[in-house]
Chain A
Amino acid sequence: MSLIKINNLYKTYSSGKNIMTEALGGVNLSIEKGDFTAIAGPSGSGKSTLLNLIGALDSPTRGSIFYENIDITKIPLNKLALFRLEEIGYVFQAYNLINTLTAIENVEYVMLLQGISNQIRRKKSIEILKRVGLEPYIHRFPNEMSGGQQQRVAVARAIVAEPKVVMADEPTANLDSKTAENLLDLMKELNEEKGITFVFSTHDQMIMSKARKLILLKDGKIAT
């Protein structure tokens, strides 16, 4: 069984009176457990929209998104937060940490929401920060770290609670190529090591080349 199965997914935005923009027009795809998948396409192709829908951050106009056998489009809005908390990790573009929390506190945050005890939270956070090479920076605030270091903290936060899937929306967009490559290598290692599924939205060639599965979007539809 696929980890994620998307059937006939539509998303239409209304912008102003009677102006409707179709961002996705009937997408069908499946993502298997342990995939390292990139959703690529030019700007405006609908890749971020698709990622947001798969990530339960937005709701489709029509269609279904199954996580194993649960259709998340049927989950009421007030319960969707819990679904995101339990099942999905996120890495957004740069500046996605909570600025008032230190690196370790940012990593601990998701586990805190999950009700995990303080001792376990701290232990797992230190372990994961060590794993991403940030042990010396655990007590630094985001504005005391470089963009690459911040994204590593974001990756650590996304995987520390061992979600089924990590959604990464243009994670390298604000990084220089060397830092971006290091970050991607790290995510690939974690994918292989822990079996966590990664789904990217990107137009970065480097991500596309490293992805094991590439989904190309054009005008809201899958191109290949």
Chain B
Amino acid sequence: MFTFIKIAWRNIIRNKKRSAITLSAVGFGLGALIFIRAFVDGAHQQMIENYTSLVSGQIQIHARGFHQKEQLEIYITEPEKISSSLKENPYIQSFTYRIKAAGLVSSPEHSAGVYILGIDPRHEKKVSTIYKKVKEGTFLTESSDKGIILGIRLAENLNVGLDEKIVIMSQALDGSIAAGAFHVKGLFDTGTEEIDKGVVIITHKAAEELFVMHDKTSEIAIRLKNVEDAQKVSTLIRQKLNSSELEILPWQEVSTVLEQWIEFDNGFIYLIVIVVMIVVAIGILNTVLMGVLERTREFGILLALGTKRKQILAMVAWESLFLGVIGSLFGSLLGILLTLQLGKTGINLSMFSSALTSFYMDPYIYPVSKTDHIIISIALVLVTSILVSIYPAWHAANLKPVEAIRSI
């Protein structure tokens, strides 16, 4: 076998220019594939991180049916019991309680329909980054019972500023009118219009009073040590709590839109993979087939001397595999180095910042290389290089010695 490998290798060296062009095609193709995959992975990671950090959390626990209906009447009755179980879970970094309700907020001049969020300021800071988005004033504190923060767009619509009074009106859990006056402590600007125009935040304690929800909560939002564990940890929590009255949702189920967007992106990547693989396949096929056609006489001699057809097949396949392996080494090195470098500096896409913000992305995207994606890309190139050798190898192995030797 070694001699056949040696012949295959020397055939590659024999046509240095042609081999170099093929290796460039394979290398740049794979390098581009690794980089594009890393860019998309980086963008997805950012989207997930930003989305789950901003408000949602990475796992949400509700009473069953809350996610679909979002009604105040669907609440968790004994959150402390769940809390003690969550504290034992090694995958969980922190968690917080939230009361969620729809209502009306009014200033002396205007009013607007809003989503009211009751949060525990101290724990919320460990779960979400909404406190970082406060552009004017301050975030809520434990003692801000009459304080409220709201989106900067909503404040414009209501024409209110810091320390001004606004009134929340809704329906409490017991059916009574829930009404309360709050002072604007801060204004946040998340860049997401639906939040900036439609959400107000008060303390959990104030929400309990307002909605008559003592010792109850609508949601427990969880932040994990690693967001990629969301589905696994959700299953673990389900098994641990073992309650049919609760729904435990990883972020993929909380925001199906984000999940679908990521799926769509991945689908688009598959298209790119197919295009790159076609380029790689044509490159290798061209070199190997040309090599085989040029060496028809030589293959005729090999067959005449007693070389078996399967040995000819192996020889051509090795040639193709060599091109695939060397091209892959070059390509993976190129792709990984490019990813590492741009992973440090980031890719400046600030000219699209408004569009990026809508998709929870920052103006700088940091490509992230994932080992499994690199391995899959390399394996695809290698498999392609073997597959495209089938025709030239079959052609060479099925030559008739007499006719092949006569050829020029």
- Residues of A whose CB lies within 8 Å of any CB of B are 52, 55, 57-58, 78, 81-82, 84-86, 90, 92, 95-101, 105, 108-110, 112-114, 157
Of the candidates A57, A95, A97, the one whose C-beta lies within 8 Å of that of B304 is A57
Least CB distance, A139 to chain B, in whole angstroms: 14
CA separation between A86 and B402, bound complex, in Å?
19
Q: How many pairs, one residue from A and one from B, have CB atoms within 8 Å of each other in the complex?
A: 62
Contacting A at CB under 8 A, from B392-406, are: 400-402, 405
CA separation between A67 and B301, bound complex, in Å?
22
A113 touches B306 (CB 8 A): yes
Given the complex, which residues of B lie within 8 Å of A110, measured CB to CB? 305-306
Return the CB mask of B274-313 against A: 1 if under 8 Å, else 0.
0000000000000000000000011001111111110100
CA separation between A98 and B307, bound complex, in Å?
12
A100 touches B302 (CB 8 A): no
B298 touches A85 (CB 8 A): no
Least CB distance, B64 to chain A, in whole angstroms: 69
B308 touches A81 (CB 8 A): yes
A90 touches B305 (CB 8 A): yes
A98 touches B306 (CB 8 A): no
CA separation between A114 and B308, bound complex, in Å?
11
Dominant secondary structure at the B interface: helix
Of the candidates A52, A81, A97, A114, the one whose C-beta lies within 8 Å of that of B303 is A81
Contacting A at CB under 8 A, from B1-39, are: 3, 6-7, 10-11, 14
Return the CB mask of B371-408 against A: 1 if under 8 Å, else 0.
00000000000000000000000000000111001000
> Mind listing 16 A-B residue pairs with CB under 8 Å?
A52-B402, A57-B401, A78-B309, A81-B308, A86-B306, A96-B301, A98-B298, A101-B3, A101-B6, A101-B7, A101-B10, A105-B3, A105-B6, A113-B306, A113-B307, A157-B305
B14 touches A81 (CB 8 A): no
Least CB distance, B278 to chain A, in whole angstroms: 30
B308 touches A109 (CB 8 A): no
Given the complex, which residues of A lie within 8 Å of B304, measured CB to CB? 55, 57, 84, 90, 92
Given the complex, which residues of B lie within 8 Å of A95, measured CB to CB? 297
CA separation between A105 and B305, bound complex, in Å?
14
Known: A81-B303, A92-B301, A96-B405. 20 other contacts (CB 8 A): A52-B402, A57-B402, A57-B405, A58-B400, A58-B401, A58-B402, A81-B309, A82-B306, A84-B306, A86-B306, A92-B304, A96-B301, A101-B6, A101-B7, A105-B3, A108-B3, A109-B3, A110-B306, A113-B306, A113-B311
Given the complex, which residues of A lie within 8 Å of B400, measured CB to CB? 58
- Residues of B whose CB lies within 8 Å of any CB of A are 3, 6-7, 10-11, 14, 297-298, 301-309, 311, 400-402, 405
Given the complex, which residues of A lie within 8 Å of B311, measured CB to CB? 113
Least CB distance, A43 to chain B, in whole angstroms: 14
A85 touches B3 (CB 8 A): no
Least CB distance, A173 to chain B, in whole angstroms: 13
Given the complex, which residues of B lie within 8 Å of A96, measured CB to CB? 301, 405
Given the complex, which residues of B lie within 8 Å of A58, measured CB to CB? 400-402
CA separation between A170 and B328, bound complex, in Å?
46
Given the complex, which residues of B lie within 8 Å of A84, measured CB to CB? 304-306
Among B3, B298, B305, B309: residue with most chain A CB under 10 A: B305
6 tightest A-B CB contacts, nearest first = A85-B306, A100-B10, A84-B306, A58-B402, A57-B401, A57-B402
B7 touches A81 (CB 8 A): no
Of the candidates B11, B309, B402, the one whose C-beta lies within 8 Å of that of A100 is B11
Given the complex, which residues of A lie within 8 Å of B11, measured CB to CB? 100
CA separation between A92 and B301, bound complex, in Å?
9
Least CB distance, A169 to chain B, in whole angstroms: 8
Given the complex, which residues of A lie within 8 Å of B405, measured CB to CB? 57, 92, 96
CA separation between A110 and B14, bound complex, in Å?
23
Least CB distance, A66 to chain B, in whole angstroms: 20
CA separation between A57 and B304, bound complex, in Å?
6
Q: Closest chain B residue to A143 by CB distance?
A: B14
CA separation between A33 and B306, bound complex, in Å?
22
CA separation between A112 and B309, bound complex, in Å?
15
CA separation between A92 and B401, bound complex, in Å?
12
Given the complex, which residues of B lie within 8 Å of A78, measured CB to CB? 309
Of the candidates A81, A86, A100, A101, the one whose C-beta lies within 8 Å of that of B307 is A81
Given the complex, which residues of A lie within 8 Å of B302, measured CB to CB? 98
Least CB distance, B286 to chain A, in whole angstroms: 20
CA separation between A100 and B308, bound complex, in Å?
18
B7 touches A85 (CB 8 A): no
Given the complex, which residues of A lie within 8 Å of B3, measured CB to CB? 101, 105, 108-109, 112
Least CB distance, A155 to chain B, in whole angstroms: 14
Least CB distance, A107 to chain B, in whole angstroms: 11
Given the complex, which residues of B lie within 8 Å of A98, measured CB to CB? 7, 298, 301-302
B402 touches A109 (CB 8 A): no
